[in-house]
Amino acid sequence: METSTTQSGTALADLKAMGRADLEAFAGRLGQPAYRGRQLFKWLFGKGATSFDDMTDLPRAFRETLAGAARISSLELATLQTASDQTAKALFTLESGRQIETVLIPDFDPMGKARRLTVCVSSQVGCAMGCSFCATGLMGFRQNLTAGEIYDQAFYMNALAEERYGRGLTNVVFMGMGEPLLNYDNVLQSIDLMTDDDGLDLATRRITVSTVGLARRIRQLADDGTRFNLAVSLHAPTDAKRSAIMPVNRAAATDLTALKDAIQHYTSQTGRGITYEYCMFQGVNDTEEDARRLADVVEWAPSKVNLIMYNPVEGLGFSRTGEAQLNRFIKILVGRGVTVTVRRSRGQDIDAACGQLAVQQG
Ligand code: SF4
């Protein structure tokens, strides 16, 4: 790993890990007025500057001071692949040398015009949660991403969307590598950057954070007054079945009873419903009894269900539910008044689909 230091040997501050207020304070510490911090913010997050030399409206002397006191971290694009359905997957190298993946998912109207451009960002390298059906879980946890490293994935894909489709991103989902709520502060800071007028200027309601269901953090989201959407990866409707495929459910602090309390707290505090993500695994969680139990879970709080057609990962031993069983499952849910959508994953020919993101790490 390459680490930049000052002449006195202390590490240079990474400006991309800072938010708006931090940059204003940093400029102040360098003897500059707060508006210099705002100028820095625009260069870093609005224009994607990677060098102080680019910042032509800053005085030369300030730029020289900055070069001696700070650095600008950036993602390095290693590869970019595009699937036959136009889903694009970028592999980025971090300063640590580790790699992450980011996916741009275009959705086209019948005329072939892109109506929705969604980026799926990673929040960690690897993941500690160890879900038994997930390629990322197999890697184990390696590191948290900084707010800048999360933001830069969306910034890059926004530029790619503009280049390919003539318009920027419409949606962001935190469904790539990692458990976002285990990198809580950086994820929330990256969302502040994405929604800032001088950042990507995205509406908060266009952003969805997907969690494995960490009860304490779900409560914190409500208490912190967050405004983005919350999705909970449920994947099984009983403790026995969920614990079998999701180790997180085995602890009392994060089992279904704790999750129910946290979700009820969240929906009552925020006035917003949630989405349950439910990946369909043949013979594991797709029986008619499972559908009835899932409908019981939906009754906990205002919510809807997104059924995901699983993309088998070699060696993990799970397979996708067939169409007939899927239809029986949906019928039971709809009969109980549940709002159901089905997501058929995209980008399968480049392993960009849900649960398929995993990178060989050194
Ligand atoms: S499904 Fe999500 S939470 Fe589970 S191991 Fe994979 S990345 Fe982690």
pLDDT tens per residue, range 223-281: 999 999 999 999 999 999 999 999 999 999 999 999 999 999 999 999 999 999 999 99
| Residue 349 scores a pLDDT above 80 | no
pLDDT tier for residue 351 given thresholds of 50, 70 and 90: low
Are residues 28 and 126 part of one domain?
Answer: no
Does the CB atom of residue 136 touch ligand 1 within 6 A? yes
Q: What is the CATH number of the domain that holds 51?
A: 1.10.150.530
Within-domain flag for 361: no
Does the CB atom of residue 131 touch ligand 1 within 6 A? yes
Does the CB atom of residue 127 touch ligand 1 within 6 A? yes
Rounded Cα–Cα distance for residues 131 and 177 (Å)? 12
Are residues 211 and 134 part of one domain?
Answer: yes
Q: Name the catalytic one among 127, 134, 279, 354.
A: 354
Within-domain flag for 297: yes
Does the CB atom of residue 70 touch ligand 1 within 6 A? no
Are residues 228 and 118 part of one domain?
Answer: yes
Within-domain flag for 8: no
Does the CB atom of residue 245 touch ligand 1 within 6 A? no
Q: Which of 47, 71, 95 is the last residue of a domain?
A: 71
Within-domain flag for 5: no
pLDDT tier for residue 119 given thresholds of 50, 70 and 90: very high
Rounded Cα–Cα distance for residues 360 and 328 (Å)? 39
Are residues 92 and 28 part of one domain?
Answer: no
* Total domains in the fold of the chain: 2
**pLDDT of 297-344, one tens digit each?**
999 999 999 999 988 888 888 999 999 999 999 999 999 999 999 988
Are residues 326 and 191 part of one domain?
Answer: yes
pLDDT tier for residue 4 given thresholds of 50, 70 and 90: low
Are residues 119 and 142 part of one domain?
Answer: yes
Does the CB atom of residue 134 touch ligand 1 within 6 A? yes
Within-domain flag for 4: no
Domain extent, residue 215, equals 76-350
| Residue 19 scores a pLDDT above 90 | yes
Task: Return the ligand 1 atom nearest residue 134 CA.
Answer: 6
Are residues 205 and 271 part of one domain?
Answer: yes
Query: Helix H segments across the chain?
Result: 20-29, 34-41, 60-69, 135-139, 147-165, 184-195, 215-223, 239-245, 256-270, 288-298, 323-335
Within-domain flag for 2: no
354 is catalytic: yes
Are residues 21 and 92 part of one domain?
Answer: no
What is the per-residue pLDDT for 314? 81
Q: Which two tokens stand for residue 276?
A: 């349950």
Q: Which of 30, 56, 71 is the last residue of a domain?
A: 71
Q: What is the CATH number of the domain that holds 130?
A: 3.20.20.70
- Tell me which of 100, 179, 259 to substitute to probe ligand 1's pocket, judged by most ligand atoms within 8 Å of the beta carbon: 179
What is the per-residue pLDDT for 3? 46
Are residues 82 and 67 part of one domain?
Answer: no
- To the nearest whole number, what is the mean pLDDT of the chain? 92
Rounded Cα–Cα distance for residues 95 and 106 (Å)? 29
Contact status, residue 262 vs residue 306, Cβ threshold 8 Å: no
- Tell me which of 124, 136, 308, 313 to substitute to probe ligand 1's pocket, judged by most ligand atoms within 8 Å of the beta carbon: 136
Residue nearest to atom 7 of ligand 1 (CA): 178
Q: Name the catalytic one among 101, 149, 179, 277.
A: 101
Within-domain flag for 358: no
Are residues 270 and 156 part of one domain?
Answer: yes
What is the per-residue pLDDT for 200? 98
| Residue 8 scores a pLDDT above 60 | no
Are residues 297 and 195 part of one domain?
Answer: yes
What is the per-residue pLDDT for 162? 97
Q: Which of 30, 47, 71 is the last residue of a domain?
A: 71
Rounded Cα–Cα distance for residues 216 and 203 (Å)? 26
pTM for this model (two decimals): 0.93
What is the per-residue pLDDT for 316? 85
| Residue 354 scores a pLDDT above 80 | no
Are residues 137 and 20 part of one domain?
Answer: no
Task: Return the ligand 1 atom nearest residue 357 CA.
Answer: 7
Tokens 């800048």: give the residue: 148
pLDDT tier for residue 134 given thresholds of 50, 70 and 90: confident
**pLDDT of 41-99, one tens digit each?**
999 999 999 999 999 999 999 999 999 999 999 999 999 999 999 999 999 999 999 99
Ligand 1 centre to CA of 155 (Å) is 24
